[in-house]
Amino acid sequence: GLLTSLQTSALTIRTLSSSNSFSQSIPGRLWKLGRLNHVAIAVPDLEKSQSFYKNVLGAQVSETVALPEHGVYTVFVELGNTKLELLHPLGEKSPIASFLQKNKTGGMHHICIEVDDIKVAMTELKKKRIRILSEEPKIGAHGKPVIFLHPKDCHGVLVELEQA
């Protein structure tokens, strides 16, 4: 009855937990993923978005910073455990301008995850045929090297990796 069922379940759990098949299937890495640094949101009206997070939600909101090499204005919204990055186009060739042409009201643009060694990560990702959108890291909004991974290689998500 119930006792036999519980004993069988316990045996199955012990067998599964002592199995090394899962841990053996994880390849050794020379680099590690860190924490979620931020979620980036493209916004058509930066001032309205800043006001919403600051005055309606009560968040701590940074000043606007221009990043001409990336074609964006950025604003960071502090959330305690991570940040939101508000992105607005800077210049006609801004990738955010083309994003907003397709998404008039804005929306999630990318996620940023920290890595402990961006150069080694690039080498290994290229070996795994993950396309990187630049030959070399660029300096991002936090003054640290960043790269972007092609969304088609990341299941539809534009992923930014930032040196921790």
Q: Is the pLDDT of residue 28 over 80?
A: no
**Virtual torsion, Cα 42, 114, 143, 123, nearest 10 deg:** -110
Model pLDDT for residues 32-71, shown as the tens digit of each residue: 999 999 999 999 999 999 999 999 999 999 999 999 989 9
Domain with 81, as residue range(s), is 36-163
Number of domains in the chain: 1
Confirm whether 14 is domain-assigned.
no
Confirm whether 95 is domain-assigned.
yes
Q: Is the pLDDT of residue 98 over 90?
A: yes
Please, which pLDDT band fits residue 93 given cuts at 50, 70 and 90? Answer: confident
pTM for this model (two decimals):
0.81
CATH of the domain at 112: 3.10.180.10
Q: What is the 3-state secondary structure (H, E, C) of 13-76?
A: HHHHHHCCHHHHHCCCCCCCEEEEEEEEEECCCHHHHHHHHHHHCCCEECCCEEECCCCEEEEE
